[in-house]
Structure 1
Amino acid sequence: MTKDIIALNRSDDLERAEMLFKRYNIRHMPVVNEESIIGMLSYTDLLKISFADVTEDNHNINAVVYNMFSIEQVMTKTPICVSPNTTIREVAEILAESEFHALPVVDKDTLVGIVTTTDLINYLLKQF
């Protein structure tokens, strides 16, 4: 899992989300209220409502679209979470059976990490 979490607060806006996705080259971000997870936002979620990936010249268009929605309206609410003790096999089974590619890792209601399909692939590559 990734322990250095880039997360959004429920009060953040979608422009900030896009900026963080692009700056850190990530595709999933937990949405938190203090340290508790309330949702997950993916870059794909943004693409569904904007032109975020088309060109850099569309900032004004995206600003208008982003102002029409809040993070809470676009995010996946109550995501499936795993604990730090969840096995790699269990995580792989959840991701293989689901339509998403990231799971928040929660310990006693506190977000402690995120595990993605990329994390699993990197783990497998290290085994060979």
Structure 2
Amino acid sequence: MTENVIALNRTDDLERAETLFNKYRIKHIPVVCKDVVIGMLSFTDLQKISLAEATADEHDVNAVVYNSYTIEQVMTKNVVTITADTTIKEAATILANSAFHALPVVEEGMLIGIVTTRDLLKYYLKNY
């Protein structure tokens, strides 16, 4: 699990989300309210609402589109979470049988980490 999780607040905007995706080269960001996971935003979610490919001035279009939506409107709600004592096999099974690629790790409802398909592949390569 990755422990130093990059997270968004429900009050952040989508431009901040895009900045974080690009700066940290990540594809999934938990959305929190007082460290409690309330949603998940993926880079793909941003791509779905972006019209950047339809114009030469990508930044202006993204700014207009991003200002038309809130994080809460775009994020996935009802996020599947796991705990720190969830086994690697259980986490892999959840991800293998789901349409998403990241699991926030929570303890007493609070975000403490994230497990992604990339994390599982790195673990597999290191240990096998």
**TM bracket, shorter-chain basis:** over 0.9
Aligned partners of 1:54 and 1:114: how far apart in 2?
34
Letter in 2 for 1:79: V
Q: TM-score, normalised by structure 2?
A: 0.95
Tell me the SS of whatever aligns to 1:100.
coil
Letter in 2 for 1:107: E
The Cα of 1:57 is off from its aligned counterpart by 4.4
1:2 paired residue number = 2
Aligned partners of 1:59 and 1:115: how far apart in 2?
31
Letter in 1 for 2:123: Y
Counterparts of residues 7-26 of structure 1 (less than 5 Å)? 7-26=7-26
Counterparts of residues 1-80 of structure 1 (less than 5 Å)? 1-51=1-51, 57-80=57-80
1:106 corresponds to 2:125: no
1:83 paired residue number = 83
Are the counterparts in 2 of residues 47 and 53 from structure 1 also a CA contact under 8 Å? no
Tell me the SS of whatever aligns to 2:2.
coil
Tell me the SS of whatever aligns to 1:77.
coil
Gaps of 5+ in 2: none
The Cα of 1:71 is off from its aligned counterpart by 0.2
Residues 56 and 19 of structure 1: is their aligned pair in 2 closer, same or farther, counting only changes over 3 Å? farther
Gaps of 5+ in 1: none
Aligned partners of 2:89 and 2:116: how far apart in 1?
13
Are the counterparts in 2 of residues 80 and 103 from structure 1 also a CA contact under 8 Å? yes
The Cα of 1:116 is off from its aligned counterpart by 0.1
- How many residue pairs end up in the alignment? 128
1:92 paired residue number = 92
Q: Identity over aligned residues, as a percent?
A: 60
Residues 53 and 127 of structure 1: is their aligned pair in 2 closer, same or farther, counting only changes over 3 Å? farther
Q: TM-score, normalised by structure 1?
A: 0.95
Residues 56 and 124 of structure 1: is their aligned pair in 2 closer, same or farther, counting only changes over 3 Å? farther
Backbone CA RMSD of aligned residues: 1.7
Residues 59 and 126 of structure 1: is their aligned pair in 2 closer, same or farther, counting only changes over 3 Å? same
Tell me the SS of whatever aligns to 2:79.
coil
